Amino acid sequence: MIEKVNPSHPDKIADRIAGAIVDLAYRMLEDPKVAAEVLIGHGECHIIIETNVAFRYEDIAKIVLRIAGPGIRLGVKIVPQDEHLAENQKYIVRCGDNGIFRGMPITEEQRELSEIARDIYSVYPTDGKYILDGDRLIICQSNADSGDLLFMYPDADVNPLGPWTGGTDTDTGATNRKLGSDMADSVTGGGLHGKDLSKADVSVNIYAFLKAQVTGKPVSISCAIGDTRVDGKPYSEIVNAARTYIKMIGGFEKLAEWGLF
């Protein structure tokens, strides 16, 4: 059983804004420190950023306009990263957080739903949520012709409550609220979006997930803030593995669109 939401779901709108802020940070600094939280809905967007980057309000506003559209009242609070955390990261690549992480191989059911979600989104790029539970496919797709969806997937349960509008005018979105959709069975306590690569929530999550796909076995990792070695190797190697993956897919905002699968 797996649930997948598309990039226009309100929670993914929040994730994408947070990811775009991290992309901007890496364009401004080679090794930025940033953690961004986004809450958006019903014409308002509130963003809190802890960072060492000199962001401009205007640049953040452009990101929100591009991803969420016009008519959003924006509130942005930018504060410096905690001085003790900053000092810990100053001279060497160290683990930026405590955490436990799990990587799990993707199942055929999860791959199938990921493909279905992408196929529907290519036709209807609006808020949507999809569930696959064995032979049962549930499609909740906003601003869509149910007949067309049933033509695509004749045995699916399509919009059980009928047509709906969706988007941030219907529901609120918050960063890292759809980790099951992003990571499947690899879900951990650490949020994947809105953070730089020094954060274990980003790098160790990505590393564990990728390792599980290669080995075909579950991967369990724990780490403490300040660790220079994680999973038996320098933390810098884990960061670089995550960096390579992020570059390959096109950035942090791209990661936020669909997650890791």
Q: Show the domain range for 62.
A: 10-82
Same domain, 76 and 54: yes
> Is 89 among the domain residues?
no
Same domain, 180 and 251: yes
> Is 51 among the domain residues?
yes
Number of domains in the chain: 3
- Report the distance separating Cα 218 and Cα 114, nearest Å: 20
Q: Angle at CA 81, nearest 5°, toward 44 and 67?
A: 30
> Is 52 among the domain residues?
yes
> Is 163 among the domain residues?
no
Give 52's contacts (C-beta < 8 A, 6+ positions apart): 29, 32, 33, 34, 80, 81, 86
- Report the distance separating Cα 203 and Cα 238, nearest Å: 6
Same domain, 202 and 75: no
**What's the CATH number where 39 sits?**
3.30.300.10
What does the pLDDT profile of the chain (261 residues) look like in tens digits? 999 999 999 999 999 999 999 999 999 999 999 999 999 999 999 999 999 999 999 999 999 999 999 999 999 999 998 887 777 777 788 898 899 999 999 999 999 999 999 999 999 999 999 999 999 999 999 999 999 999 999 999 999 999 999 999 999 999 999 999 999 999 887 899 999 999 999 999 999 999 999 999 999 999 999 999 999 999 999 999 999 999 999 999 999 999 999
Give the closest residue to 241 by CA, choosing from 208, 194, 201. Answer: 208
